[in-house]
A and B are shown apart, each in its own frame.
Chain A
Amino acid sequence: MSNWALILYCGLITYLTRFSMIALIKKEMFNDRIREILSFVPSAIFPAIIFPAIFINDKGLIDIDDNPKILAAIIAMFIGIFSRSIIATIFSGLASYWFLIFVV
């Protein structure tokens, strides 16, 4: 598939999710149980992006020995938990990472 087709399909599926939200989905369609499960979707899906990006190196192997990303991510997580700020989380993580690779 060409890059353009890929972009169009990803755009289409994103749009259709939004359209279905306001045109198709009604309150009655979700009982409390389904709502409860749906509320876990971010916790279930984002780590699948986060963890490999931290623990898997350029060669596609798990790297936990000499990996400054792990400590930087842990620092960012704690800053995030206490500050509840998206920006503080991103920048503390990047700053720690740069400190670890350039200074330490």
Chain B
Amino acid sequence: MKSNLKVFLKGIIDVSPLMIPVVPFGLIFGVLAIDVGFTPIETMAMSLIIFGGASQIVLLQLFSGGASSLVIISSVGAVNSRHLLYGAVVSEHLSDLKLIWKIIISYFLIDQAFAISNEYLKKNKDHNRYFHLIGGGATCWVIWQSTTFLGIILGAAIPEKLGLSFAVPLTFLALLVNDFRKFINVIVIIISGLVATLGYNYIPFKAYVIVAALAGLFTAMILTRKNKKA
């Protein structure tokens, strides 16, 4: 069996290639948070407490649009619901862990660390195998905190004319690149986008993110059911 440190280091090495896109994401977050009116301390606290790129950007986007706290919190919850699917996969590998480790690992269980460690956990049955997940998560943590910090500093120097807020839709667009190739996904994307845009001013409490997401999921339910019958 490999030592804890070795497994931890293996996690760092494996996750490294996935860190490249995290750098611009973190910078953009830091710059925009200051731009929409959060203090540098609050911005840093967001990255430390939430530690989730999509959650934090959705928070900013809705906050700057004047949404209520309840709508922001439930939208963040909805954004995170995409992770529930991972749970079914990863919980199997971690079922024999002590509760304290589950509590610690949960903080580090982000997309990139999960994607990489899932492969490792499948092949490896050593009882210290979860150090791989912690290695990957810790690497992402360091990158995320340092790029947020850099973004906060750079934010003051970046002219508003550059329209850097446009990086938000681009970042989310980038997360969907694989879905644009699938027909049903494209229909779902269009329905959700149209509902959000047309409902932006009419859906109360800025709940357009949730309403549009439900409309998209409902569309997916109908289309996938028809698909099977055909």
Contact = CB atoms under 8 A, between A and B. Distances in A.
Q: How large is the interface on B (under 10, 10 to 19, 20 to 34, 35 or more residues)?
A: 35 or more
B216 A39 contact: no
Interface in B147-195: 162-163, 165-181, 184-185, 188-190, 192-195
Interface string A47-91: 111111111100011100000010011001100110111110111
Given A25-B88, A60-B200, 11 more contacts: A5-B69, A24-B87, A37-B224, A42-B179, A43-B185, A45-B78, A51-B196, A54-B169, A62-B198, A83-B177, A89-B177
A9 B81 CA distance: 16
19 contacts: A8-B49, A13-B77, A18-B109, A22-B94, A27-B91, A30-B85, A36-B224, A40-B188, A46-B172, A47-B176, A48-B208, A51-B193, A51-B196, A62-B197, A69-B169, A80-B180, A84-B178, A85-B177, A97-B163
Interface string B57-70: 11101010000010
B46 interface: yes
Nearest to B212: A48
Nearest to B39: A3
B188 to A, nearest CB: 4
B3 interface: no
A55 B208 CA distance: 14
A67 to B, nearest CB: 11
Nearest to A8: B49
A25 B91 contact: yes
Contacts of A56: 197, 200
Top 9 A-B residue pairs of the complex, sorted by shortest distance between their CB atoms: A44-B216, A21-B87, A51-B193, A25-B87, A11-B49, A47-B193, A48-B212, A80-B177, A40-B220
Interface in A4-32: 4-11, 13-15, 17-27, 29-30
A21 B86 contact: yes
A60 B179 CA distance: 28
Contacts of B197: 51-52, 55-56, 62
Q: Give the interface centre of A21, A27, A87, A101 by most chain B CB atoms within 10 Å.
A: A21
A4 to B, nearest CB: 7
B8 interface: no
Given A48-B192, A80-B180, A90 B109 contact: no
Contacts of A103: none
A35 B177 CA distance: 20
Contacts of B91: 21-27
B212 to A, nearest CB: 4
A4 B92 CA distance: 35
B170 A3 contact: no
Given A41-B217, A53-B168, A90-B24, A46 B73 contact: no
A71 B15 CA distance: 34
